[in-house]
Structure 1
Amino acid sequence: MTQGGVFMQVGVQKGSQAGLIIGAIGVVYGDIGTSPLYTMKECFTGPHALSPTPGNILGVLSLIFWALLIIVSLKYVVFIMRADNQGEGGSMALMALAQRCLRDDQGRARWLLMLAGIFGTSLFFGDGMITPAISVLSAVEGLGVISPTLHGYIIPITLVVLVILFTVQRHGTASVGKAFGPIMVIWFISLGGMGLVSIIQAPDVLTALNPFFAIHFFTSHPWHSFVTLGAVVLALTGAEALYADMGHFGKSAIRRAWFCFVLPALLLNYFGQGALLIHTPEAVQNPFYLLAPKWAQIPLVALATAATVIASQAVISGAFSLTRQAVQLGYLPRLEILHTSEREIGQIYIPAVNWLLFGIVICLVLGFKSSSNLAAAYGMTACGMMVITTCMAFIVARRVWGWSKPALFLAFSGLLIVDLTFFASNALKFFQGGWFPFTMGMLLFILLTTWKRGRQILAERLSADALPLASFVEAIEAHPPTRVQGTAVFMTSSQEGVPHALLHNLKHNKVLHERIVLVTVSTEDIPFVPDIDRVQVKQIGQSFFTVQAAYGFKEEPNIDEILDSCSQQNLAFDMMDTSFFLSRETLIPSEMPGMALWREKLFTIMSRNAMRATDFFKIPTNRVVELGTQVEI
């Protein structure tokens, strides 16, 4: 479930294809790679448990096989990964790409796409909260298989592992990340090896590769098979990561890792568990751990715990990356973002997100108490995200790839039917636990849309009162006030009007600096902006300049970098002779049109707690002057 990548970026630049494949195995496939811990068990022990008869086992195995083939292999690996935004994937990148496909006069379609992208991202966050809890808990539950007397230690050990996991985040993951690939390679080899041994002892289980068994399962038990899809979907956890981490490892490495290594290992393990259940139905209590010989169960618990920590780490780091993208695109207020590596910009740490996730994950473990209970909470939001991804990819396929309408209908209607069927099945688990990730997703959706809309309203209020820049410059130079030595840099969101900070400075101090520079920083709907297009300088008067700085949604603005680029365009700065002026707005909720009063109050709270612009833009604090203004929204 990672949504943005993490540890192996340096491999993209320097590593061989083999190194990229190992890196992808370690980061991209951690979540889907740990799903065998609980998927088969939930099919036969969950709230709608099936009887472990040979027919049911073969039917479930056939469903898992074809779900992995259609949704993961065909939909994500073959089709969706083609929809890259300059090499980047993920819901935010896909939303930006789909919006660029629309004409300027299609404002309503753009608005709907924006809502779909935000809603999909919110669902992704809500579902991602479950991964650390269910993964680590399911791994540690192996202790109960080894000895029932150890059952009481499962939750305490799980909590200790999670506390350590979230605590070490502030130290970075560079050194730990290097070990992720090899550990996960060992994990997948173990999965495949255990499954292969079991299959050799009962090769008849391979008949489940025939789709007849899935079809027969549905026709013989329509309701039970439909409900069982709510457990089968657990085998698809982390499918979005294949697309989200595309920019860090490349399509080729992710595809090769999936088809040549990960998919075979998963299928061998699932079919191995099926073979075990056919001949030993009582193993249904935990077919994954009982698949291993008795002597291997203790080291298997240790290896599984390591694998689930890696899966959880990928989710956490993905949440950091996605949060940064949301901040850059204007869907969240500025947050403190710390870099944990001097060489790799992708390795970041966001304290607010880390500790919020920590609190939620701990509450999930204490509240649900077992992986089986948590499994009931997973699925609905993930399937909702799948539906949204399919719909946005439909637009890209039509507008960018140039697919014909018949081809679109055949390909995407089939995928959409599968996604909606899984969604409907998982919706049945809403009151069993699905309400939690859905509620978390809706809360985040409200926050994202409130901030986006609030910033739009604030910009409209400020621009309505702003003086036209061109006429202001003309009047100032025709009748200049007292000018003082130095350069004044005014940070402004628009270059159409005069910044409020400039007007307040002129009104109260009665002076202007001898050179005025208006700097606007914008975020484009592409991941990275080429250096040649980074900064544009324009002189609009004898002493007035505008600077337009553009950044991608995976980049962070830096005032030093902007000013250095200006010096290359004949606009040099002496930092000891330069002052930065910022406007600090005090927001006042009102009954004016725009948003509901409660959303205005929420926006005000979010704005009040946003990171200071000086820290976000990395402006030297001893060179900053802040001027306040009140704005009714």
Structure 2
Amino acid sequence: MCRNLELYFFFGCGCGGGGGGRRVQQQRLKRQDSLYGDAEKVSNTKYHGSEGSWSRLLHLAFQSVGIIYGDVGTSPLYAISSTFPDGVKNPDDLLGVLSLILYTLILIPMVKYVFIVLYADDNGDGGTFALYSLISRHAKVRLIPNQQDEDAMVSNYGIEARSSQLRRAQWLKQKLESSKAAKIGLFTITILGTSMVMGDGTLTPAISVLSAVSGIKEKVPSLTETQVVWISVPILFALFSVQRYGTDKVGYSFAPIITVWFVLIAGIGIYNLVVHDIGVLRAFNPMYIVDYFRRNGKDGWVSLGGVILCVTGTEGMFADLSHFNIKAIQISFNTILFPSVVLCYMGQTAYLRKFPEDVADIFFRSIPALMFWPTFVIAILSAIIASQAMLSGAFAILSKALSLGCFPSVQVIHTSNSYEGQVYIPEVNFLMGLASIIVTITFRTTTEIGNAYGICVVTVFSITTHLTTIVMLLIWKKKFVFVFLFYIVFSSIELIYLSSILTKFVQGGYLPFCFSLVLMALMMTWHYVHVNKYWYELDHIVPTDEVTALLKKHDVRRIPGVGLLYSDLVQGIPLVFPRLMQKIPSVHSVFLFMSIKHLPIPHVAPVERFLFRQVGPREHRMFRCVARYGYSDMLEESGLFKGFLMERLKMFIQDEAAFETNPTTGATNTQTCSEGSACPITFDGNSDLVEKEKQLIDMEMERGVVYLMGEANVIAAPTSSIVKKIVVDYVYTFLRKNLTEGEKTLSIPKDELLKVGITYEI
């Protein structure tokens, strides 16, 4: 087995690819100049549902029904009624719309997502930011320059090439890395997709709950539209209030309820087919689509804004991928969701062939009288679950954006020990809940909310298509014909649907654009200042080899305990350290320059968490440490973090002794290794010294740990433009002061924190 050891490795050892062989020829044990990770033990981290028996797979498939299909499964509540807002003008139009619904379900959720896009996961995670991080791991497209060669050594970082189309992939990589416009464009469409998913999470509760509650008017026709709205508002309030408990607390009730829902809608669909018009099965003939557009022209094109609502929530299959696996989703979609919703749409169409005047309330009108109240209750519960699923997906995607420096530092609460992707963000939940209630009160009907909802859905579809196309070319290295067909087919379909929905921009379609513009402005402002702040710190770092002179210049004394100075930098000494020496000329007996670094991968194995480097002479006991996390990893609480950090530091000191100069000969310990053998390492009598250093660390740890952080006040330079001054001095400052502070995000105890104020002009 080929080994990569902390701070040293055997040159020429073949660790990549599929052969597993190695080439060891006249190798020399050599020190690395940059931080180098402990990759001796390659992690075999398993993601939820990554492996297992068929019984386990079927269990996951059943659970996925409740967590990710609530939204697309409740679309029969409003899809057909939204397609015919002015009533059915021709009975044959029903067959045309049914045919459109059938082939939309087949092409977008089934073919595109279930059988293609799901495979573009980032080590088990999905969503727009997972696609972005997957691309950024293979091409340096991120705007912040904190990528290191060592990062590519962690076990989850690499991905095996899937074909031999290397030349085209290298050309694309070069274009992406050399073009700042391409980097900005890629980042922009990623945050646009995230903004639209957030809009989806806001509108899903509004349209789902309002659609379900409106069914009560069938039994209580005296209820007004306003009364239905005010019945929906408390349900929405309760829905957003329970988010703090997480989906894991009620997860086991989700799948049975949604399964009952699917059984009900499938049974009702079969009933309506048999009783009213089984001839609607003819809609599988795509010629009915051609006839529909020929007959209705522009009106048929405009009606596509309602048809697309049949696939709302499809992105949730991809966003919530980390909870399950691809096979589980494929099984549940093809055996449960697809047959159920197709039968429901067929049944509604069969009913409308006899009673076209009931199209506005088609779902509840088509329910047999004996089944109304059970179906109504299950519809309410399913609407709540549909909303829950989309909110969980929105929180998960936003937490990934936060980890990549694209969102203000808000508190992310992990609500499940079983599902790493299930998170809750209090501030965002409050704002989304408030927005959802305001939308419900303002728009009142599902038709106008549907206009806004459709724009969110199709925009996210389109962004996923574009990012997946890049993945196909850059990473999968698929043949050009396959990639071309994928892009042309799905981008054309989505463009047609988007052009239709935009005709209803004034009738509610403007809502997601306004919402997305605000959220995008917030994300771009934060990321812009974050990147510039990083560059400012990088341009003003103190070289590591000058730390001794710095300590002598300020006559710094050593005090008991362990000090951790946090910085975004992964190299050099941060600017805040000299300022600290000026104000308080003292340094703890053991001192670490700490950087928390989020890699564009979902997980980093704990054994690969910390990278260390000695700073200055050994007697200074000063170290550089980078703690690396994936965007789905949870930061440990303070006590656990300190203990793990000190243990890894002691291991580093022990390994570092392997590079000590031989005191008798003054020569560096180098050897020639034969094929198939590892170079032995000797400590040259330094064992006692190593043990004393480890004991010293334990002793200083008991005396206490102090966290130091720079309180950076970022302002625009005097020569900056008015726009830049507004963005930096007002918008960014407002976000930084009113959202969660860094020490809370890092779980740092307040009584162990010392802040050092500093101002940056960018």
* TM-score when normalising by structure 1: 0.94
SS in 2 for 1:220: helix
SS in 2 for 1:532: helix
Do 2:48 and 2:324's aligned partners in 1 also have CA atoms closer than 8 Å?
no
CA displacement, residues 149-202 of structure 1 (integer Å, 9 cap, x when unaligned):
234641222112112112222233433221000000000011100001111231
CA displacement, residues 113-149 of structure 1 (integer Å, 9 cap, x when unaligned):
1121111111221232110000000000001122312
Q: Hey, what does 1:5 align to over in structure 2? A: none
Q: Hey, what does 1:555 align to over in structure 2? A: 633
Matched AA of 1:410: L
Q: Hey, what does 1:440 align to over in structure 2? A: 515
Task: Compute the displacement of 1:406 (Å).
Answer: 2.2
Matched AA of 2:760: V
Distance 2:585 2:136 in 1: 46
1:419-434 matched pairs, under 5 angstroms: 419-434=494-509
Distance 2:483 2:405 in 1: 32
Q: Hey, what does 1:388 align to over in structure 2? A: 463
Out of 541-550 and 292-301, give the one that drifted further. Answer: 292-301
Distance 1:31 1:22 in 2: 16
Q: Hey, what does 2:95 align to over in structure 1? A: 58
Matched AA of 2:74: T
Q: Hey, what does 1:6 align to over in structure 2? A: none
Gaps of 5+ in 2: 1-46, 140-172, 654-696
Out of 343-352 and 223-232, give the one that drifted further. Answer: 343-352
Q: Which has the higher helix share?
A: 1
Q: Return closer, same or farther for 1:485/1:285 CA change in 2, 3 Å cut-off.
A: closer
**For the aligned residues, what is the CA RMSD?**
2.2
Distance 1:344 1:125 in 2: 21
Residue 178 of structure 2 is aligned with which of 80, 88, 106? 106
Task: Compute the displacement of 1:474 (Å).
Answer: 5.4
Q: Hey, what does 1:417 align to over in structure 2? A: 492
Are positions 1:567 and 2:650 aligned together?
A: no
Q: Return closer, same or farther for 1:381/1:609 CA change in 2, 3 Å cut-off.
A: same
Distance 1:473 1:392 in 2: 48
Are positions 1:630 and 2:734 aligned together?
A: no
SS in 2 for 1:568: helix
Out of 531-540 and 592-601, give the one that drifted further. Answer: 592-601
Name the larger-Rg structure: 2
Q: Hey, what does 1:313 align to over in structure 2? A: 388
CA displacement, residues 434-460 of structure 1 (integer Å, 9 cap, x when unaligned):
101111011111111110111111122
Task: Compute the displacement of 1:479 (Å).
Answer: 8.7
CA displacement, residues 501-536 of structure 1 (integer Å, 9 cap, x when unaligned):
322221112222232210111101111112222111
SS in 2 for 1:377: helix
Matched AA of 1:41: S
Residue 145 of structure 1 is aligned with which of 215, 218, 230? 218
Are positions 1:545 and 2:623 aligned together?
A: yes
Are positions 1:588 and 2:715 aligned together?
A: yes
Distance 1:155 1:415 in 2: 37
Do 2:537 and 2:569's aligned partners in 1 also have CA atoms closer than 8 Å?
no
Out of 492-501 and 470-479, give the one that drifted further. Answer: 470-479
SS in 2 for 1:283: helix
Q: Hey, what does 1:461 align to over in structure 2? A: 536
Q: Hey, what does 1:501 align to over in structure 2? A: 576
Residue 610 of structure 1 is aligned with which of 739, 742, 751? 739
Q: Hey, what does 1:207 align to over in structure 2? A: 282
1:141-290 matched pairs, under 5 angstroms: 141-151=214-224, 153-201=227-275, 202-290=277-365
Are positions 1:40 and 2:80 aligned together?
A: yes
Q: Return closer, same or farther for 1:66/1:510 CA change in 2, 3 Å cut-off.
A: same
Q: Hey, what does 2:682 align to over in structure 1? A: none
Q: Return closer, same or farther for 1:590/1:190 CA change in 2, 3 Å cut-off.
A: same
Task: Compute the displacement of 1:80 (Å).
Answer: 0.8
Distance 1:470 1:388 in 2: 47
Distance 1:33 1:343 in 2: 25
Task: Compute the displacement of 1:282 (Å).
Answer: 2.0
State, as a whole percentage, how many aligned pairs show the same letter: 30
CA displacement, residues 445-488 of structure 1 (integer Å, 9 cap, x when unaligned):
11111101111111222333332232234553799632222222
Task: Compute the displacement of 1:380 (Å).
Answer: 1.6
Q: Hey, what does 2:748 align to over in structure 1? A: 619
Q: Return closer, same or farther for 1:171/1:403 CA change in 2, 3 Å cut-off.
A: closer
Matched AA of 2:527: K
Out of 559-568 and 243-252, give the one that drifted further. Answer: 559-568
Task: Compute the displacement of 1:348 (Å).
Answer: 3.1
SS in 1 for 2:222: helix
Distance 1:87 1:377 in 2: 31
Distance 1:62 1:185 in 2: 25
Matched AA of 2:456: T
Distance 2:51 2:385 in 1: 23
Do 1:126 and 1:438's aligned partners in 2 also have CA atoms closer than 8 Å?
no
Distance 1:448 1:91 in 2: 15
Gaps of 5+ in 1: 1-8
Q: Hey, what does 1:23 align to over in structure 2? A: 63
SS in 1 for 2:747: coil
Matched AA of 2:178: Q
Are positions 1:80 and 2:120 aligned together?
A: no
Residue 115 of structure 1 is aligned with which of 188, 210, 224? 188
Distance 2:331 2:603 in 1: 26
SS in 1 for 2:121: coil
Q: Return closer, same or farther for 1:88/1:228 CA change in 2, 3 Å cut-off.
A: same
Do 2:413 and 2:424's aligned partners in 1 also have CA atoms closer than 8 Å?
yes
Residue 90 of structure 1 is aligned with which of 119, 122, 127? 127
Distance 2:487 2:418 in 1: 41
Matched AA of 1:139: A
Q: Hey, what does 1:401 align to over in structure 2? A: 476
Out of 140-149 and 294-303, give the one that drifted further. Answer: 294-303
Q: Hey, what does 1:128 align to over in structure 2? A: 201
SS in 1 for 2:569: coil
Out of 80-89 and 536-545, give the one that drifted further. Answer: 536-545
Distance 2:477 2:536 in 1: 41
Distance 2:233 2:474 in 1: 48
Out of 478-487 and 546-555, give the one that drifted further. Answer: 478-487
Do 2:49 and 2:60's aligned partners in 1 also have CA atoms closer than 8 Å?
yes
Q: Return closer, same or farther for 1:24/1:342 CA change in 2, 3 Å cut-off.
A: closer
Out of 586-595 and 186-195, give the one that drifted further. Answer: 586-595
Distance 1:334 1:546 in 2: 24
Distance 1:296 1:89 in 2: 38
Count of matched residue pairs: 622
Task: Compute the displacement of 1:624 (Å).
Answer: 1.3
Distance 1:460 1:323 in 2: 24
Q: Hey, what does 2:164 align to over in structure 1? A: none
Are positions 1:323 and 2:452 aligned together?
A: no
Do 2:272 and 2:351's aligned partners in 1 also have CA atoms closer than 8 Å?
yes
Tell me which stretches of 4 or more aligned residues in structure 1 moved more than 6 Å. 9-15
* TM-score when normalising by structure 2: 0.78
